[in-house]
């Protein structure tokens, strides 16, 4: 591959539902970064190429620059569909679907997501983070937790995703704190004790969660609890419900949490309350590592 005269060897792209991020890369090192709010949701099929070029044009040289992209860009409604691969399988196949671009300076590959037939589940983007984590921690055997809008839990064994489950915890927290009656109660800030108490209550009596959500509003009206306490309590109830459902995943297992720092810390704290120590890896770094591992494989195959 070229790379001497040009700005970068290749470009890593994480193209999700609501945002697009791109990194100019030299091998596994970031040279430059760019982002926009042009998520998959906001684009028609014909718009993807232009939106990407607007972002990465400054990085392109005279030669062909490989672009490796993951996320909802590969969905049916995305740029080019990269059909789901079925678990159990390795999170990354070392290949993807080539996109037919008009601009001949880029060679774009879109990575497929994963699906599970029973219980039905899907992911797009998280498989790349998992692949990145396994690329950097090749012997890992245990459970990966990827907190986010739709948190994923995956069981990893012998370099494969054996099974996974998705949770709407992040989206529920956003909707409940911004659009439900709890919007009057929940605000900025945090309360470690309120979070710990809510997680613990929920794990010991998971059937009680539904009764405790509206009580956050009532506690504001009757007991004037702070917005920070309400936020931590809501988060604790929802993460507690997720941990109650995933107990077979995390109980007695090696765990790594891959995500944004602040949210990951809540998960790690909640697990610690159950006596479980989880490792942490930053989500974007794992995404780039996953994309790099595929880029490497593609480059070797081309040589």
Using the minimum distance from each CB to a second copy, give the nearer residue, 30 or 245.
245
194 forms beta bridges with: none
Options 27, 31, 193, 218; binder of a second copy; rule CB under 8 A? 218
Q: Of 45, 247, 272, 299, which one interacts with a second copy (CB under 8 A)?
A: 247
Exposure string of 224-263, with b = 16+ CB inside 10 Å and e = fewer, is ebebebbbbbbbbbbbbbbbbebeebbeeeebbbbbeeeb
Which x/- pattern, by CB under 8 A, does the window 43-82 give for a second copy? ----------------------------------------
262, β-bridge pairs: none
Residue with smaller CB distance to a second copy, 31 or 175 = 175
Helix (H, G, I), strand (E, B) or coil at 62: coil
For residues 55 and 198, which CB has a smaller minimum distance to a second copy in the complex? 198
Considering only 19, 85, 105, 115, the residue that binds a second copy (CB under 8 A) is 115
CB of 194 to a second copy, least distance (A): 14
Backbone angles phi, psi at 262, to 5 degrees: -60, -50
Span of 185-193, 212-220, 258-266, 294-302 interacting with a second copy by CB under 8 A: 212-220
Give the CA angle between residues 194, 197, 199 to the nearest 5°: 110
Query: Which part of the chain contacts a second copy (CB under 8 A), choosing from 135-143, 162-170, 271-279, 286-294?
Result: 162-170
Output the six-digit token pair for 227: 């917005």
3-state secondary structure of 262: helix
**Nearest Cα residue to 67 out of 137, 114, 122, 1:** 1
Name the nearest CA neighbour of 243 among 201, 193, 203: 203
33, 98, 210, 260: which one binds a second copy (CB under 8 A): 210
Interface residues toward a second copy, by CB under 8 A? 84, 115-117, 119-122, 150, 165-169, 171-172, 175-176, 179-182, 206-215, 217-219, 221-223, 238, 241-242, 244-247
């Amino acid at each position: 591959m070229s790379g001497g005269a040009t700005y970068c060897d290749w470009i890593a792209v994480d193209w999700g539902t609501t945002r697009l991020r791109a990194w100019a890369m030299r091998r596994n090192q970031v040279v430059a970064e760019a982002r926009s709010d042009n998520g998959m949701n906001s684009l028609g099929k014909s718009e993807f190429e232009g939106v990407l070029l607007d972002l990465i044009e400054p990085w392109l040289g005279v030669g062909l620059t490989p672009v490796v992209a993951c996320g909802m860009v590969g969905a049916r409604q995305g740029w080019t569909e990269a059909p789901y691969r079925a678990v159990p399988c390795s999170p990354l196949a070392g290949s993807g679907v080539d996109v037919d671009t008009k601009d001949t300076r880029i060679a774009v590959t879109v990575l497929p997501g994963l699906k599970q037939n029973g219980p039905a589940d899907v992911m797009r983007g998280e498989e790349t983070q998992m692949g990145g984590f396994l690329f950097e921690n090749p012997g890992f055997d245990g459970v990966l937790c990827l907190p986010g809008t739709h948190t994923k839990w995956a069981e990893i064994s012998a370099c494969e995703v054996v099974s996974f489950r998705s949770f709407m915890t992040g989206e529920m927290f956003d909707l409940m704190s911004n659009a439900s009656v709890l919007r009057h109660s929940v605000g900025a800030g945090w309360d470690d004790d309120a979070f710990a108490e809510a997680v613990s209550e929920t794990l010991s009596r998971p059937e009680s969660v539904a009764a405790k959500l509206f009580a956050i509003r009532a506690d504001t009206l009757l007991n004037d609890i702070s917005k920070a306490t309400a936020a931590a309590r809501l988060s604790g109830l929802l993460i507690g419900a997720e941990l109650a459902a995933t107990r077979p995943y995390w109980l007695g297992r090696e765990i790594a949490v891959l995500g944004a720092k602040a949210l990951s810390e809540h998960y790690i704290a909640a697990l610690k309350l159950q006596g479980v120590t989880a490792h942490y890896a930053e989500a974007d770094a794992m995404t780039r590592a996953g994309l790099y591992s595929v880029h490497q494989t593609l480059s070797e195959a081309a040589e």
